[in-house]
Structure 1
């Protein structure tokens, strides 16, 4: 298939997507569509403007422009010999489930006790921003940019980015939690809005900023299922400029999403407390490393703390391990394969591969990649790049004194085989409106798990199937009230039923008896 044919197909896809809008509304040929335009040579913003386009970004690391164009302009510009491809400006979203322990599991606390804390390294957190006033994050916050609102104040208005930032670099200050690399510097690159959604153009702009500002690591706990050559080019350029890129694999129990699936990005899957792949974690040959992603305690908005699950929570563990490794001295070691005296992205990846704790099938596999990231093993035997600069000013606190560095104890139950069941199940719908004509709807299944005596059961994994408008197997973990809320995928302008059916409930020391369920299936129509 030729590039011209691909371009034509993409143009047709854009036009067809427009023609499928509500039948009662006539397509407005002057309505502008968000696109990414890649030029064969130098970008030409004037050309785009001459065709009625509104230029959003003119990138400096790749010959591409993000803009909004009328339908006719897309067709006309696609024939311009100076333009390589025009593709939709797709949407991604942050990748959390619901519902804290991973730092000690990857041995980051052990690395910290021998002096490695990430000091001197910088990390660009491409997410929903950071609550830079949080007591556990303020000391390591370096600045950033808000690409959603186009200003220099990347304050988090969602909470996802703040949680990710805490897992990477929450300060070792005697309270709260400790991150994997508590000495690392954090840049907040806000590409995600308050609802959890982001455009590929804003992600690319954040990567562009990171390259221009010599950031060491980019971490992205977000993504989408749509491939974009422009986003790939941006990642490849950052990688070629010496930036290590880490991204979450996705929470759909299917193929790895983008940008994690690109070759220049470290794709991270999620594991549970027992080192098994989380049921919802995406998998495939792109998976490079695994990390804890279930019930991870970290920083939240307003100076608080809480737990979340998802590959979004796994990726920052790997990011922290990268930071710890970057503050070691590679010069003169066998790991400096190009003998340039500094860590390169390929050398970082190779070291993390060889020191990972193998899980699953022996060797690299689709679930865990090379294995569970092992921060201590990665830095063991190496010295600090600059001991005077990187050594912490104060002694590290005993990791046992911090919630995030202690492994949770297996719950103890007075009765070894207590029966549990579903005491309530209710499916509702929710929506967000984007633009003037489109709305996105999803189903939410809220249920309570109790034991045979009617007591709430905390920590039970509830698995179920969405059907009707969506088809997907999902799971969640009950809170202290025995409650769990499991959401479906978001659908654009749907019409029909969201149906949820509980298929299993599991927890050590309990036996699930579906015959006791007061409700196993519920639905909501939209």
Structure 2
């Protein structure tokens, strides 16, 4: 996991042992004579390596000390331990108090969250347990290059809706990374995720692709549509689709855009009145320097340096209002799990947001507060 470190063994156990105490050590030898000396000193041979010049033994400390002085022995070390690289609660989830919900058993079970994006990696260990349906409105294709320096993911298209870019998988992990002792924990680990592939491997999709994905989401009766995508101009077809989904009771949330610093520059579909527009914050609660702002912004969420899943079972750190949006989508899924729907999800998120001193055009009602949205105090994490 990026940014993590393993725990190394301490020599304190061996150093503290008395002369007659049994200790477990690894012995590196220079020759067969050294190997035989180690085996002769052992009360028990734990492991005799096949190809490495090492044996692991249990022996009295005084015998081990003698081995350490043998010219045919390269080293004697305590057979310490390393720990598995544990699951991570990314800073964004901690900041919006998603962990408070998890500690109180609020995991989002029963809610349906659609990720309208580049797809979702169909075999990612942090996502497979909660993947529902998938639908592709663009083609999954890892071959060929992209304009403007975009990169396709080196990911086999097992499903038509697989992620050939990484972006959608990253967003999916933020919304609902599984609580499974590895990788990352998302805002709502037990919601059902649906991959609606409306963007290709280069991160592009037509108005028609996106409108079709929104329509499809509404026709499935799903609770939340998370759209970490946008453009400078709107589309009549997309506006029709947004209106249709809103009328069907879908909670629609979208990224405000990454055109900052700027004013009155929220992109579409976030700028539509039926959609909650999300701006991005950094870990110190300042507005992310890339975040678009404008009167359409209704809420802010963490979006700078967010660690989450990517294709091929991996993890990486991305920044953008794209990363802020699935934080909101995941908490919306938590609300849907408790029976809150559509416009009520929107008003609840706004009414419970935390003021962090940003202007209304920068953060709308404030910073997303997962605990407050579901009626918990931020201290209710035990």
**TM, length-normalised to structure 1:** 0.50
What is the deviation of 1:381? 5.7
Residues 223 and 341 in structure 2, CA contact (< 8 A), matched pair in contact too = no
Deviation for aligned residue 1:149: 2.3
Superposed, 1:431-510 pairs within 5 Å as none
Query: In the alignment, which of 92, 95, 105 is matched to residue 105 of structure 1?
Result: 95
Query: 1 or 2, which has the higher helix percentage?
Result: 2
Of 271, 281, 284, 1:271 maps to 281
Partner SS, residue 207 of structure 1: helix
Q: Report the counterpart of residue 136 of structure 2 in structure 1.
A: 146
Distance 1:272 1:324 in 2: 23
**What secondary structure does 1:239 align onto?**
helix
Matched residue SS, 1:285:
coil
1:352 to 346, 349, 355: 349
Spell out, residue by residue over 1:294-313, the C-alpha distance to the aligned partner (whole angstroms, 9 max, x if none). 10000011101110000000
For 1:123, the equivalent position in structure 2 comes to 113
Matched, 1:321 2:331: yes
Using the alignment, how far apart are the partners of 2:343 and 2:133 within structure 1? 28
Pair 1:281-2:291 in alignment: yes
Q: Distance in 2 between matches of 1:258 and 1:176?
A: 32
Query: Deviation per CA, 1:327-382, whole angstroms, max 9, x where unpaired?
Result: 125xxxxxxxxxxxxx3322111111111001225xx7100000000001111269
In structure 1, C-alpha distance between the alignment counterparts of 2:336 and 2:376, rounded to whole Å: 14
Shift of 1:214: 1.1
Q: 1:236 aligns with which of 224, 240, 243?
A: 243
Gaps of 5+ in 1: 1-99, 330-342, 383-398, 401-526
Match of 2:303 in 1: 293
Do residues 260 (structure 1) and 274 (structure 2) align?
A: no
Larger radius of gyration: 2
Q: Answer yes or no: is the 8 Å Cα contact 1:360–1:367 preserved in 2.
A: no
- Which structure has more RCO (C-alpha within 8 Å, separation ≥ 6)? 2
Task: Find the counterpart in structure 2 of residue 158 from structure 1.
Answer: 165
Whole-Å Cα distance in 2 between the matches of residues 211 and 319 of structure 1?
15
Q: Which position in structure 2 is the counterpart of 1:377?
A: 372
Can you list the C-alpha shifts for 1:150-190, whole angstroms capped at 9, x where unaligned? 99620100000000000001100111110000001111011
Find the residue that maps to 2:279 and give its secondary structure.
Answer: strand
For 2:328 and 2:304, locate their aligned partners in 1 and report how far apart those are by CA, in whole Å: 15
Q: Which residue of 2 aligns with 1:475?
A: none
Q: 1:457: which partner in 2? A: none
Question: Could you tell me how far 1:196 is from its partner in structure 2?
Answer: 1.2
Contact 2:223–2:342 (CA under 8 A) maintained in structure 1: no
2 CA distance for matches of 1:142 and 1:242? 20
Of Structure 1 and Structure 2, the greater strand share is in 1
What is the CA-CA distance between 1:230 and the residue it aligns to? 1.9
In 2, distance between residues paired with 1:300 and 1:321? 21
Looking at structure 2, the residues matched to 214 and 171 of structure 1 have their Cα atoms a distance apart, in angstroms, of 23
Q: What is the Cα deviation at residue 109 of structure 1?
A: 0.9
Distance 1:353 1:251 in 2: 22
Contact 2:280 2:288 survives alignment (8 Å): yes
> Does 2:307 align with 1:310?
no
Aligned length: 270
Match of 2:207 among 200, 208, 218: 200
In structure 1, what is the equivalent of residue 180 of structure 2?
173
Aligned mates of 1:358, 1:345 — CA distance in 2: 23
For the residue of structure 2 that corresponds to 1:246, the secondary structure is: strand
* Superposition CA RMSD, Å: 1.9
TM-score for the superposition, normalised by structure 2: 0.68
User: In 2, Cα distance between the equivalents of 1:240 and 1:113?
Assistant: 34
